[in-house]
Amino acid sequence: MSALHTISINWLTVPLFMAVILYDMRFMRIPNWLVALFVIVAVVSLPFSTGWIDLLWRLVASATTFLVCLLLFAGRLMGGGDVKLLTVLALLIPVSALPLFGVILSLSIFVSVAAIYTARRLTQGKPTRWKAISDRKGFPLGLGIGSAGIVFVLIGPMLL
């Protein structure tokens, strides 16, 4: 993959990751149209950035991600938007980089859980328009997924 192609994909995905964070924090959901934008980026960029064998492995990784996330969704541990988003992200990330993304995602979710619980504690009893803070039942995984995506895009190439 050329440096120009990598830069152009990054310019497209970073704002999308930021939108994922904002939407999930504000409404506790990741809209289908936002996931569809990631799908468009994947469909348009993959034929120019990877070979057929790598594309097949990415499809396998994406299908595996979907099945694992579907089990988590069935157990009410993950929302539908999170399942769809992680499935598409498995297409955009090279298979050799998936372990690194998994580590970044795990750390990002841990930090975001701590940040949300801290924000909820600090705003206890105070009105807020951010559903992720005011709704104490759920947790916005989009914060962790979006943050992990941004970190991966910015420092992932240096770590690989």
Tens-digit pLDDT profile for residues 114-132? 999 999 999 987 889 999 9
What is the pTM (predicted TM-score) of this model?
Answer: 0.91
* Long-range contacts of the stretch 10-18 (C-beta < 8 A, 24+): 10/153, 12/41, 13/38, 13/41, 13/92, 13/149, 13/153, 14/149, 14/150, 14/153, 14/154, 16/41, 17/145, 17/146, 17/147, 17/149, 17/150, 17/153, 18/146, 18/150
CA distance 82 to 105: 12
Kindly state the tokens that stand for 17. Answer: 């990751």
Supply the range of the domain harboring residue 115.
Answer: 3-159
Strands (E) in the chain, as ranges, are: none
4 pLDDT band, cuts 50/70/90, is very low
Tell me: pLDDT of 49 over 90: no
The count of domains in the chain is 1
CA distance 126 to 121: 10
**How high does pLDDT run on average in the chain?**
92
103 pLDDT band, cuts 50/70/90, is very high
pLDDT on residue 9: 76
Greater pLDDT, 89 or 49: 89
CA distance 83 to 66: 6
